[in-house]
Amino acid sequence: MAISHLRQLCLTTRRTTRLVALLPPILLLAGCGDTRYFAPDPASDEADDIFRLWQGTFVAAMVVGGIVYALIIFAAVRYRRRSDDVPGQRDYHVPIEIVYTAIPIAIVAVIFGFNVVTQDRVTALKDPDLEVDVTGFQWQWQFTYVDEDVTITGEANQRAELVLPVDQRVRFNLHSPDVIHSFWVPDFFEKLDVIPGVANRLELVPNVEGTYTGRCAEFCGLDHWRMTFTLDVVSQAEFDDWLAARQSGGSA
């Protein structure tokens, strides 16, 4: 009985090992079929930069993963046990050790360089067309259009609505009166913490009209899940009409 159980365990282990071995090629093929590599469609100029970095990093990861996987298979097949004789042993192989040390360092250095360039470009502060004070509080958001004297405040059962003109540079000044929050619109590929006493600023240029959902990406308390808001990116004419209605006391 014990031998039977042992055989069954060995068979199960072999099947599991085969399934695990098949996972990397399956994921690799899945990624190759999606040029977005599982990312959402970018909706801002900064998101386009981040997206290109993501694509390059993903491709590099697939290439490295493919090479490593091929080497593992080669070693498993080429040097599989053919007898009970102990194979020849070698303490070290300097050329190979230099290669497998230098190549990863070079790969990391190149990826790091592209990250720094993209980060500097995305986080650069310029002259904005529109400035919005963003206040994250437990548990909603408040948006104040600085020069337009318009304030939108979310409530427990009514999320705040942020309206932005397309192709205009917007600066967000982030504030919090209570705990740490995080201002995040997934389609913009950026988020920044909203920290009490810290003046964080975020700039972006939305370039695709549409309706998006913003979130708090930092657990901030019991009702953290309520901290969502609606973001509408509209044409300049629609934005002007919306702003005029708000300034006149309307709700459009």
Other Cβ atoms closer than 10 A to 240: 12
In a 13 Å sphere around the CA of 214, the CA atoms on its Cβ side amount to 28
Domain-located, residue 216: yes
Q: Same domain, yes or no, for 138 and 237?
A: yes
Domain-located, residue 215: yes
More confident residue, 119 or 15: 119
In a 13 Å sphere around the CA of 81, the CA atoms on its Cβ side amount to 4
CA-closest candidate to residue 185, choices 172, 169, 176, 200: 172
pLDDT digits (tens, 9 = 90+) for 78-101: 888 788 887 777 788 889 899 989
Q: Same domain, yes or no, for 106 and 135?
A: no
**Of 22-36, 71-85, 116-130, 146-160, which range is least confident?**
22-36
Q: Same domain, yes or no, for 98 and 49?
A: yes
DSSP per-residue letters across 135-198: EEETTEEEEEETTTTEEEE-BTTB-EEEEEETT--EEEEEE-SSS-EEEEEGGGTEEEEE-TT-
pLDDT for 176: 96
Q: Same domain, yes or no, for 103 and 135?
A: no
pLDDT for 100: 86
Q: How confident is the model at residue 15 (pLDDT cuts 50, 70, 90)?
A: low
Distance CA 168, CA 171 (A): 10
- Count of domains forming the chain: 2
Q: Same domain, yes or no, for 147 and 200?
A: yes
Q: Same domain, yes or no, for 99 and 157?
A: no
- Supply the mean pLDDT for the chain: 87
Question: End of a domain among 106, 123, 140?
Answer: 123
Question: End of a domain among 71, 91, 123?
Answer: 123
Q: Same domain, yes or no, for 162 and 189?
A: yes
CA torsion sign, 44 to 232 to 229 to 133? positive
Q: What share of the chain is helix, strand, coil (3-state, %, to 5)?
A: 45, 25, 30
Q: Same domain, yes or no, for 114 and 137?
A: no
More confident residue, 22 or 82: 82
CA-closest candidate to residue 153, choices 162, 195, 245, 240: 162
Kindly tell me if the per-residue pLDDT of 123 is higher than 80. yes
Domain-located, residue 236: yes
| Buried/exposed code over 93-112 (b: 16+ C-beta within 10 A; e: otherwise) | eeeeeeeeeeeeeeeeeeee
Q: How confident is the model at residue 75 (pLDDT cuts 50, 70, 90)?
A: confident
Kindly tell me if the per-residue pLDDT of 121 is higher than 90. yes
Q: Same domain, yes or no, for 146 and 101?
A: no
Distance CA 210, CA 42 (A): 12
Q: Same domain, yes or no, for 157 and 235?
A: yes
Domain-located, residue 5: no
pLDDT for 171: 97
CATH number, domain with residue 39? 1.10.287
Q: Same domain, yes or no, for 158 and 242?
A: yes
Domain that holds residue 164: 130-247
